[in-house]
Amino acid sequence: MIGVLIIAHGSLGPSLIDCATHVMGNRPAQLDFLEISKHDDPSLVLPKAEALVKQLDSGQGVLVLSDIYGATPCNIVTRLLTPDEIEGVAGVNLPMLVRVLNYRHEGLHSCIQKALSGGRDGVVHFTKTTCHHAQ
How many residues appear in the chain? 135
Contacting residues for 94 by C-beta, under 8 A, at least 6 apart: 16, 19, 20, 23, 122
Distances (CA, A) of 131 to 19, 32, 118, 125: 22, 33, 19, 10
Given a cut of 60, whether residue 135 has pLDDT beyond it is no
Helix (H, G, I), strand (E, B) or coil at 87: strand
Helix (H, G, I), strand (E, B) or coil at 54: helix
First to last CA, the chain: 39
pLDDT band of residue 13 (cuts 50, 70, 90) is very high
Among residues 52, 20, 25, the alpha carbon closest in space to that of 36 is found at 52
Q: Name the phi and psi angles at 33, rounded to 5.
A: -140, 160
Question: pLDDT tens digit string along 16-64?
Answer: 999 999 999 999 999 999 999 989 999 999 999 999 999 999 999 999 9
Question: pLDDT tens digit string along 80-108?
Answer: 999 999 999 999 999 999 999 999 999 99
Q: What is the mean pLDDT of residues 57-77?
A: 97
Q: Centre a 10 Å sphere on the Cβ of residue 27 and count the other Cβ atoms it contains.
A: 11
pLDDT band of residue 5 (cuts 50, 70, 90) is very high
Query: pLDDT value at position 133?
Result: 58
Query: pLDDT value at position 126?
Result: 87
Among residues 118, 90, 113, the alpha carbon closest in space to that of 23 is found at 118
Could you give the domains of the chain?
Answer: 3-121 (3.40.50.510)
